[in-house]
Amino acid sequence: DAGVIQSPRHEVTEMGQEVTLRCKPISGHDYLFWYRQTMMRGLELLIYFNNNVPIDDSGMPEDRFSAKMPNASFSTLKIQPSEPRDSAVYFCASSFGGKNIQYFGAGTRLSVL
């Protein structure tokens, strides 16, 4: 199994640009989670999906952030427009059955200049 795959691994962009982060969960997993990691706030949940449906997006910081899961094997997290304070490492995780182990991708390190 290839594990959770995130792309790109690194993204550098300028303030105001649109950023799209991608995630491919482990095949057969029915839950997908997006987390953000910063020095100040640690690891925070942004949103999670069950069977491609968003269940809890209360962690999405503001309307500039949006996430989609068009099918069971792909999800995107979009920031438009990006701001320097969005600089962080964004992790995607998936699990089979929500209260089971979450498997994390390697993360996308985003730098907004």
Residues in contact with other proteins by the rule CB under 8 A: 4, 31, 33, 42-43, 45, 48, 50, 55-56, 91, 93, 95, 98-99, 101-107
CA distance 103 to 60: 21
- Pairwise CA distance, residues 88 & 108, whole Å: 8
Which amino acid, residue 56? D
Paired tokens of 24? 């491919």
Least gap, CB of 66 to other proteins (angstroms):
18
Closer by beta carbon to other proteins, 81 or else 111: 111
Task: Quote the least distance from Cβ 106 to other proteins, whole Å.
Answer: 5
**75 versus 95: smaller Cβ distance to other proteins:** 95
In sequence order, the 6+-apart residues with CB closer than 8 A to the CB of 85 are: 112
Looking at beta carbons only, is 17 or 27 nearer to other proteins? 27
